[in-house]
Every structure is written in structure tokens, then in C-alpha cells.
Amino acid sequence: MCTHNNIQNTDNWKEVEGFAKKALPEHIVAFIEECRQDANPESKLIKVLQLVQEHFGYLGRTQMDAVAQLLQVPMAKVSGVATFYHFFRLVPRGKYLIRVCLGTACYVKGAERVVDKFKEELGIRFGETTKDGLFSLEGTRCLGCCGLAPVVEINEEIFGQVTPDKIPAILEHFTEKESEIKTQ
């Protein structure tokens, strides 16, 4: 059995390392190398995965593999962590991620009807992405703006006091942005 220390002495380590480094952007590779200098490098696993997701939008098998190799933790642990936390996504998502708050305050203020309206407008269910790859729909826990319930977050932008009839306009805001980008 190889322990964490001698894996780098195996015959094909250089090759494995090369592959892994190619799978990840430079700044993440650099961050992992920095972590390896710490006393408890494996404790940075979640942070590394967060960076990967920030860069790719999701955690792909190749990237998780690369993280496992470079951080030198078992792949089982990487996928164990990736599947445990709600934050991590294992499939790609649309350009705009719509997250409807399903926290208590939003729930009692009618978040369910907001969800229904999004589903109706986009023709997708939770966890799905529209065919044009533009929108994905998800539920989320309290976003910390309960006073403005119901709340919807689209990428980093937060919309408060969202009622079903405001939804078409919100979506339009993004589709317009898209067509502007296209015409440019």
C-alpha cells in the first residue's frame, strides 16, 4: 500500500502529475501546492473544490481526479465530500443559475408559487437546465434576506419580494442581456 508520502516516488508519478496539472487552471494548481506546505493539507479539500466549481461551474470527474492526485487524498474522499455538501454540483449548469429561496420566511410568503411560475415559464424542473443552456433552476436555503421574502437569487444578484407576476420581467432582463451580448 502506498502512503501519502511515497506516492511521488512511483514510476509514473511525473506522468500522473502532468495530467492532473493540465486538468486544472494554474491558480488552482498553485493553491494546492501552497496547501501542501501546511500542516493539514487535506483540510483544504473543500476550499479547493469550491475553487474548481467556481472556475468550471461544476465538479467534473476529471477535475476531481486531478484534485485527488495533486492534494494526495483518496478519490473516495474527494467524491465523498463532493456528494455530501449541497453546494457542490456534479453536472454542468446553465449560464444563469436561478435559486429560489425555500427558507421558512419565503415559504410562508408564497415561495411555492414563485417556484411554480419559474417552472411554468422555463419549462424545466428543479435541477434541470433549459435547452438553450441559459437557465438552471434550483431551490436553496435561507439567503439571509428573510425580511424581503420571497427571495430569488440569480447568479450573484438577489431579487426581493418576488411575486409570480414579476417573474417574466426578471427573466426578460437576462434574455435581453444575452441578445445584447450576441449582437455585439
Distance CA 116, CA 7 (A): 52
Residues 6+ apart with CB under 8 A from 141: 86, 101, 102, 103
Select from another protein, ligand FES, none the partner in contact with residue 116, using the beta carbon and a kind-dependent cut-off of 5 to 8 Å. another protein
Select from another protein, ligand FES, none the partner in contact with residue 31, using the beta carbon and a kind-dependent cut-off of 5 to 8 Å. none
Q: Total binding residues for ligand FES by CB under 6 A?
A: 12
Q: How far is the CB of 104 from another protein (least distance, A)?
A: 3
Contact between 152 and ligand FES per CB under 6 A: no
**CA 108 → CA 103, 115, 150, 162, distances in Å?**
9, 13, 9, 13
Tell me the DSSP string of 61-115: HHHHHHHHHHHT--HHHHHHHHHHSTT--SS---SEEEEEE-SHHHHHTTHHHHH
Cell triple for 9: 516516488
Q: How far is the CB of 14 from another protein (least distance, A)?
A: 26
Distance CA 11, CA 132 (A): 46
Return the residue of 16, 29, 154, 158 that touches another protein, per CB under 8 A. Answer: 158
- Could you tell me which residues are beta bridge partners of residue 29? none
Select from ligand FES, another protein, none the partner in contact with residue 170, using the beta carbon and a kind-dependent cut-off of 5 to 8 Å. none
Please identify, using beta-carbon distances, which residue of 112 and 172 lies nearer to another protein. Answer: 112
Per CB under 8 A, the segment of 10-18, 123-131, 155-163, 172-180 that binds another protein is: 155-163
Per CB under 6 A, the segment of 23-31, 32-40, 63-71, 141-149 that binds ligand FES is: 141-149
Please, are residues 78 and 68 in contact by the beta-carbon 8 Å criterion? yes
Interface contacts to another protein, rule CB under 8 A:
40, 42-47, 49-50, 73, 77, 80-81, 84-88, 102-105, 107-109, 113, 116, 140-149, 151, 156, 158-160
